[in-house]
Structure 1
Amino acid sequence: MKAEQQMKTMVIFNHPYQGSYCAAVREAVVSGLKRANAEIDVLNLDQDGFNPVMSTEELAGFSQGIASDPKVLDYQARIADADHLVFIFPIWWELMPALTKGFMDKVLLKGFAYDEVGPPPRFVSRLPKVKSVTLITTMTIPQAIYRFYFGNAIKKAFFTGGFRKIGIKRTKWISLPSVKSVSQEKREKWLADIENRFAQLT
């Protein structure tokens, strides 16, 4: 009988301070995935020295889906081999940090992540192995303010205008609000809940 194929989860992490709560979240995710016996690939954009700025050369190849940055080519190969993607970052100025935005700009190229078909024009995913995308964010303001005043901006930018747009429908946003003002007990409970959630990821 053929053995069941091991699921592979790629964790894309973006926070410059390795003692941050985001880093603790990353470790909780990894611990949960280890409990699930998942194959894990952690990509640390800050430690990796990823350049989020699109150069003139890269822009010239953008419409053709041609990447010239060796790191981008490496990231694309690793994404294509993943079953699940997990992004972890803080919300700054109501959206993702620059490294994550640059990652989306430079890595999720047409011809790699999606094709454009039509008319009318629409995107279809070229990443059939990717079953789901989970986003975990921290922020200093309450969830209600972010939802009603800022319109859940990250959800619109990251999912509606990002992964769902290119055809990946299974998405989940885990928001950790008011992270600097909540109790230590609540912060620890969040980490335990996250670890348990990813221990059951299939």
Structure 2
Amino acid sequence: MNVAIIFNHPYEGSFCNAILGSVTTGLKKANHEIDLIHLDKEQFNPVMTANDLKGFRDKKAIDPKVLEYKGRIERADHLIFIFPIWWELMPAMTKGFVDKVIFPGIAYDYTNAGNTRMKPLWTKLKGVTMITTMNTPKFLYWGIFGYAIKKAMMLGTFWKIGYKNRKWITFNKVKQVSKEKREKWLAKIEDKFEMLDY
């Protein structure tokens, strides 16, 4: 299986980086092919410019990095996002990736004249997994913030486009839990991605 990972965290000592290591180890154990798109190291520009918006209207992306990512993701059977939750949503680079790469003519197209119904264009893609970290307790993130990232990414983006196999894995209270618990989480995530089957 070809797996594309969209990763966003600027600090190499972060728990997100540890998760990336476990995901990668698990995938390699199962002999999956991995394409890591590290938004920070690749210096992806998340800003949507006036020219980008014209491209949105015309269904023709103009950012060379976006066009590169299009080709890389078209080869993927599974897409994995790994990023932290900051102020209840994703960091700017991840949001910019969604704005500029989950784009008409790139990730989806419209199926009616009114542009109200969509179909996915990444036809090889069988599944999308989102892995997030946060310090907010899970019950607060659900009760007060209504699982904001799930609504934005899993429903408001990938469900709306038509990608059916969607999973969200969240790690909460990361700073508060023990080192032993974080190590158990990492071992579990490694096992999970060794068994990935779309």
When the two structures are superposed, what TM-score results if normalisation uses the length of structure 1? Answer: 0.95
Residue of structure 2 in register with 1:54 after alignment:
48
Structure-2 separation of matches of 1:114 and 1:12: 18
Is 1:116 matched up with 2:110?
A: yes
SS of 2:161 mapped into structure 1 = coil
Structure-2 separation of matches of 1:187 and 1:41: 25
Structure-2 separation of matches of 1:64 and 1:104: 18
Structure-1 separation of matches of 2:139 and 2:77: 32
Structure-2 separation of matches of 1:112 and 1:141: 34
User: What are the residue-to-residue correspondences of 1:27-176 with 2, within 5 Å?
Assistant: 27-118=21-112, 121-176=116-171
Is 1:199 matched up with 2:188?
A: no
Structure-2 separation of matches of 1:24 and 1:13: 12
Residue of structure 2 in register with 1:18 after alignment:
12
Structure-2 separation of matches of 1:161 and 1:192: 31
- Worse-matched range after superposition: 33-42 or 106-115: 106-115
Gaps of 5+ in 1: 1-6
Q: List per-residue Cα deviations over 1:90-149 (Å, max 9, x = no partner).
A: 000100100000001001111221111237721111111000000000000110000010
Structure-2 separation of matches of 1:64 and 1:110: 9
Tell me the CA shift for residue 172 of structure 1.
0.5
List, as ranges, runs of 4+ consecutive aligned residues in structure 1 with deviation greater than 6 Å. Answer: none
- Worse-matched range after superposition: 29-38 or 64-73: 64-73
Structure-2 separation of matches of 1:161 and 1:25: 25
Tell me the CA shift for residue 67 of structure 1.
1.2
Residue of structure 2 in register with 1:189 after alignment:
184
Structure-2 separation of matches of 1:115 and 1:75: 17
Letter in 1 for 2:67: L
Letter in 2 for 1:157: A
Structure-1 separation of matches of 2:157 and 2:5: 17
Equivalenced residue count is 196
Letter in 1 for 2:12: Q
SS of 1:48 mapped into structure 2 = coil
Letter in 2 for 1:146: Y
Gaps of 5+ in 2: none
Letter in 2 for 1:188: E
